[in-house]
Amino acid sequence: MRLLVKSLTLCLVLSQCFTAPSKHKEEHGKNDKEHGHDLHHDAKLDRCAGIEYDAVTANDEGVLYFFKGDHMFKGFHGKAEMSNKTFHELDDHHHLGHIDAAFRMQSDSPDHHHHQFFFLDNKVFSYNKHKLEEGYPKVISEVFPGIPNNLDAAVECPKPECPEDTAVFFKGNNIYHFDMKTKKVDEKEFKSMPNCTAAFRYMGHYYCLHEHQFSKFDPNTAEVHGKYPKMTRDYFMRCSHFGNKSVEDNIKREQCSRVHLDAITSDDDGNIYAFRGHHFLSRTGDQFHSDTIASAFKEVHGEVDSVFSHEGHFYIIKDDQVFVYKVGEPHTHLEGYPKPLKEVLGIEGPVDAAFVCSGHHIVHVIKGQKIYDVDLKATPPAPVKERTITTFKKIDTAMCGPKGVTVVIGNHYYNYQSVMTMLMGRIMPEQHKVSKDLFGCDH
């Protein structure tokens, strides 16, 4: 009899003896195996090897928690630890699977202020200062009516970034805006938005993680602006074998990377400066140099949208601001900058590319398929001509140098003799590789 009781107890604990796993769990298990991770208890997770995270949220101090299986990473460096070390009660519900989604609500309402919500299958857990609130876990429909089970991702959107304190939920192509006060749900389908496996808010910006990459998006419209996707580990992980490489390794990495460029420019002498993520690569003749943007342009703080050179100065465009540096060793940040993009160029952001051809004072600014000519000598500066680019739907960056106009898309570029040739041409010019033909990598 004792043997029978023990056997039945073991079966109930495992919860696999009589019930087949759900399709949702099977799919997650398949994904976990495909990524080569043993996710239970003794898992050896390496954040620098590239991980598709299940959920991301912040604590009360703004430190991000990255969840994978029953493990979590705290902040941008350090090893994985069991999630139940911080959120003890999650260990009592292993049969629910891994965390599907999570967010921390910043709200004026005392009911939700600084509460962390975790979603597992059809359950939601609410924590306040790492303690599970009384009565939880609850079914999702009880706390968030109209929100489906088995979510892909979730993120908070406090006022005034959203009209009201809102939780944004993701499942497949559907996005749900949940008003935390009225509990009204606005459901939309965004096929252009990547299917997020996790989402989070950091320093007022919103990020959707998908596979090993991320895209920055607008929480109200779900539109992605800028040059995305980008690699998650290059921005949100501090990895010794990425950040502390030798100078030669850093140069080789930037030369041979196939990740698209954020910006590129050429000065009057034909020297090239390319910007990607938090790094830049310069080429003077056959000599290459690579460093972080913060080391050479410390006022910029992170990735840039576009860069152009004019009369011995770099104009760096980031969001709706323009930074200007006098070229030298070191580059000198001009007093009074940054200034609004509207004030400097007379146009609104965001900007995809901008370039000036040597000996000219017209900066050509590309936004989508529009190109604007702005006279830098005019006061105040303003677009003097607007035209349409028909050859390309989306340009990552562009520059003008001794060989004419270079248009960069992904890891490829195209050369044109002039801006007019680029606009009037109907036949695509020869395609070249950025890594191989522009930066001399062997592939």
130 in the same domain as 88:
yes
Is 330 part of a structural domain of the chain?
yes
Is 44 part of a structural domain of the chain?
yes
258 in the same domain as 144:
no
403 in the same domain as 432:
yes
Looking at 181, 201, 236, which one is the last position of a domain?
236
What's the confidence (pLDDT) of residue 387? 94
158 in the same domain as 297:
no
Is 89 part of a structural domain of the chain?
yes
What's the confidence (pLDDT) of residue 246? 53
What's the confidence (pLDDT) of residue 241? 46
330 in the same domain as 231:
no
261 in the same domain as 229:
no
414 in the same domain as 391:
yes
243 pLDDT tier (thresholds 50, 70, 90):
very low
419 in the same domain as 377:
yes
Region 94-119 average pLDDT: 73
Is 90 part of a structural domain of the chain?
yes
Region 283-298 average pLDDT: 85
Is 12 part of a structural domain of the chain?
no
> pTM here?
0.55
Reply yes or no on whether the pLDDT at 32 is more than 50: no
302 in the same domain as 253:
yes
Q: CATH number, domain at 80?
A: 2.110.10.10
Pick from 102-106, 197-201, 247-251: least confident: 247-251
- The tally of domains found in the chain comes to 2
Reply yes or no on whether the pLDDT at 382 is more than 60: yes
45 in the same domain as 94:
yes
Region 391-396 average pLDDT: 90
Residue pLDDT, tens place only, 42-70: 457 888 777 889 999 988 877 889 999 88
189 pLDDT tier (thresholds 50, 70, 90):
confident
Is 82 part of a structural domain of the chain?
yes
Looking at 211, 236, 261, which one is the last position of a domain?
236
93 pLDDT tier (thresholds 50, 70, 90):
low
226 in the same domain as 317:
no
Looking at 185, 216, 236, which one is the last position of a domain?
236
Pick from 44-48, 73-77, 170-174, 397-401: least confident: 44-48
Reply yes or no on whether the pLDDT at 36 is more than 50: no
335 pLDDT tier (thresholds 50, 70, 90):
very high
> Taking all residues of the chain, what is their mean pLDDT, rounded to a whole number?
82
Residue of higher predicted confidence among 90 and 283: 283
What's the confidence (pLDDT) of residue 336? 95
Q: What's the domain range around 191?
A: 20-236
- Tokens (6 digits) for 61: 């101090």
CA angle centred on 436, ends 431 and 441, rounded to 5°:
175
Q: Percent of the chain, pLDDT > 90? A: 45
What's the confidence (pLDDT) of residue 305? 94
Region 368-380 average pLDDT: 93
Residue of higher predicted confidence among 136 and 426: 136
What's the confidence (pLDDT) of residue 436? 85
375 in the same domain as 232:
no
Is 4 part of a structural domain of the chain?
no
Is 6 part of a structural domain of the chain?
no
